[in-house]
């Protein structure tokens, strides 16, 4: 679950249209926060966004896997972001907003 400094800098740039983020290294990866709420993570230089029943369809429609560090049989509620989204700042902002809203909804429960 390693993450390179260069990839984190790239991801930080890609979130420019979404808004201010904070990146915190943890367990060899990194958590990505907006307004104090974790809505994304990076592991092995792959970006995963938070998903719930509302935005999960975006990930499943693209056949993207959810984050599974190997211990949980179902994985975690973070899903890998398609490369074309990671490369496009406007798409990234749209997907990030949906992930942030999923994180807010989850936190309220």
Per-residue pLDDT of the chain (109 residues; tens, 9 = 90+): 578 999 999 999 999 999 999 999 988 899 999 999 999 999 999 999 999 999 999 999 999 999 987 765 566 899 999 999 999 999 999 999 999 999 999 887 6
Residue with tokens 């909804």: 105
Q: How far apart are CA 76 and CA 66, in angstroms?
A: 7
Tell me, what's the pLDDT at 64? Answer: 96
Contacts of residue 98, Cβ cutoff 8 Å, sequence gap at least 6: 49, 54, 55, 58
Q: What are phi and psi of 66, to 5 degrees?
A: -90, 160
Angle between helical axes of 89-108 and 5-14 (0-180°, round to 10): 90
Q: How far apart are CA 34 and CA 69, in angstroms?
A: 23
Q: Domain residue spans in the chain?
A: 5-108
- The token pair that represents 35 in the structure block: 């307004």
- Chain CA centroid to CA 14, Å: 12
What CATH number should be reported for the domain whose range is 5-108? 3.30.1460.30
């Amino acid at each position: 679950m390693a993450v390179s400094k260069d990839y984190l800098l790239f991801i930080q740039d890609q979130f420019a249209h979404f808004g201010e983020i904070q990146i915190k290294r943890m367990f060899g990866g990194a958590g990505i926060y907006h307004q104090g709420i974790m809505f994304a993570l990076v592991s092995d230089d792959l970006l995963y966004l938070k998903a719930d029943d509302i935005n999960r369809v975006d990930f499943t429609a693209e056949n993207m896997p959810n984050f599974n560090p190997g211990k949980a049989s179902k994985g975690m509620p973070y899903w890998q972001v398609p490369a074309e989204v990671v490369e496009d700042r406007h798409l990234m902002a749209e997907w990030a907003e949906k992930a942030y809203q999923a994180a807010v909804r989850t936190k309220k429960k």
